[in-house]
Amino acid sequence: MVGPSSQEFGTKLAKRMGLPLLAVTTTEFPDGEIKYKFDEKLDGLQVLLVQSTYPPADRHYMQLFLASHHMSQEGAKVHAVIPYLGYARQGKAFLPGEIVSLGIIAHLLRSVGVQRVSTVDMHSAEGLALFSMPVYSVSAIPGLAQYVRTQVKLDDPVAIAPDAGSVRRTEAFASLYGAKVIKLKKNRDRVTGRIKMEADKLPVKGKDCVIVDDVITTGGTVAASTELLKKSGARKVVSACVHAVLLGETYDKLIKAGVDEIIGTNTVPSRVSKVDATEPMAAYLRTIIAEK
Ligand code: R5P
């Protein structure tokens, strides 16, 4: 079933895998509440429910919960394919008293009958441990590296990890690209959310740089990294991220900060969805189907 937030992704995924689309009529009340009418028998079906939970995350989760609960009640086995898994950044309590939102999301998914979850580049690998059902995160990093290598004109680029959490991904990107990695030290004020980079200069004079990250939301991380790179003499700065959430004016803010190009995938539909993440997802799903 192609959920309302993932029309393009879900249709592409089904086509790539040669799967039929479930007949569902979706209507929306004037207040934004959604209503589904399932137009075929669900008993005994194995359904991939494709629904990304980018902002508004709560609404997109609710749309997923309603569909999953109904389908599982009617006897279908539901495998949720959630290209961008919202709340994944709150996979632990960073300050005393904070809640582990991702753990609650995992619990809710189970309670509405989801039996398996697949996603793309989940924020942190530790988050996977919060799920009590099989969960897997495929990576779109090879696709991003391939895109940058073939479509963006760069001269011997350096891969930039903007913070500790992005090092693993950036190293994977760099190894596919044959680039060196520079790790930045980012400090985020856990109360205000404000970002500070811990360096005055970096060894990037005259170099092309690719900042690799899982998600861009407000653009604070990429903007601060770009300003530091440009101040250090970088020639070009490209931002490659999996989930380009790009809230509000973020795209313009990044261009103003000196980013020459932003490259994202289609886990979140946006003006920078240049890489198709249905490819690694389909490859993974085929392995599960082959196991059965
Ligand atoms: C942080 O751990 C993430 O990997 C991203 O760097 C961060 O969430 C991006 O957020 P923003 O665009 O608001 O800086």
CATH architecture entry for 4-139+277-291: 3-Layer(aba) Sandwich (3.40)
Is the pLDDT reported for residue 121 higher than 80? yes
At 5-27, the pLDDT tens digits run 999 999 999 999 999 999 999 99
Q: What separation in Å is there between the alpha carbon of 188 and the centre of ligand 1?
A: 10
Q: At what angle do helices 250-257 and 220-231 cross, to 10 degrees?
A: 10
Whole-angstrom distance, CA of residue 181 vs CA of residue 203: 11
Which residues have a catalytic role annotated? 186
How far is it between the farthest Cα atoms of the chain? 63
Domain ranges of the chain: 4-139+277-291, 141-275
Pocket flag, ligand 1, residue 264 (CB < 6 Å): no
In 3-state terms, the chain is what percent helix, strand and coil (to 5)? Answer: 35, 25, 40
Topology alike, domains 4-139+277-291 and 141-275:
yes
Name the residue at shortest CA distance from atom 1 of ligand 1. 165
DSSP assignment of 169-185 = HHHHHHHHHT-EEEE--
- Within the chain, where are the H helices? 7-17, 57-73, 101-111, 141-151, 167-177, 220-231, 250-257, 278-291
Would you identify the CATH topology of the domain 141-275? Rossmann fold (3.40.50)
Residue 193 has pLDDT above 90, yes or no: no
Ligand 1, residue 214: give the atom nearest the CA: 4
Looking at the chain, the whole-number percentage of residues with pLDDT higher than 90 is 91
Tens-digit pLDDT profile for residues 201-240:
899 999 999 999 999 999 999 999 999 999 999 999 999 9
Q: Does the C-beta of 279 come closer than 6 Å to ligand 1?
A: no
Most informative mutation of 124, 163, 192, 221 for ligand 1 (most atoms within 8 A of CB): 221
pTM of the model: 0.96
